[in-house]
Amino acid sequence: MSGKFLVAFDFSPPAKRALDFGLVVAEGFGVSLEMVIVVHPRLFFNATLPRHPRALKEAALAEIVSARERSGAFCPEVRVACLKGWPSARIVEHSASCGARLVLIGKAGHRASRRGVGLVAGQVLSQALTNVGVVP
């Protein structure tokens, strides 16, 4: 299979599980993996993380190293994209523009939903033009 898989990442525990799963699946299918982090200017998801894109990208690369250790998978190519805007809209736009065959997203980010998927995951599920996998 050619192409790439996309993992929506917000540094939450479900997003970390989605990254672990994404590494394993991408390795199994022999495709590249792209991690996309979307920062909303007013609704920044974690005050302990840096706001500057370069520092945010470095934190994401450290998460990739940690995920490789946790999962035991080594996906040869992992790229990180840091975007600004409304998370679900930017994830959907980016998945279409980069030609992602699969978008993996955590069930609920920092604002966990008890009943089902979170707001961003639900919007990505309903708007994406490609396959979406929701990781619990």
pLDDT given for residue 111 in this prediction:
57
Cα of 119 vs its chain's centroid, Å:
15
CATH number of the domain enclosing 15: 3.40.50.620
- Asked whether the predicted pLDDT for residue 118 surpasses 80, the reply is yes
Range of the domain at 105: 4-135
- Could you read off the pLDDT of 58-77 as tens digits, one per residue? 999 999 999 999 888 877 78
Q: How many domains does the chain have?
A: 1
Q: What is the pTM of this model?
A: 0.87
pLDDT band at 46 (very low <50, low <70, confident <90, very high): low
Cβ neighbours of residue 62 closer than 8 Å, sequence gap 6 or more? none
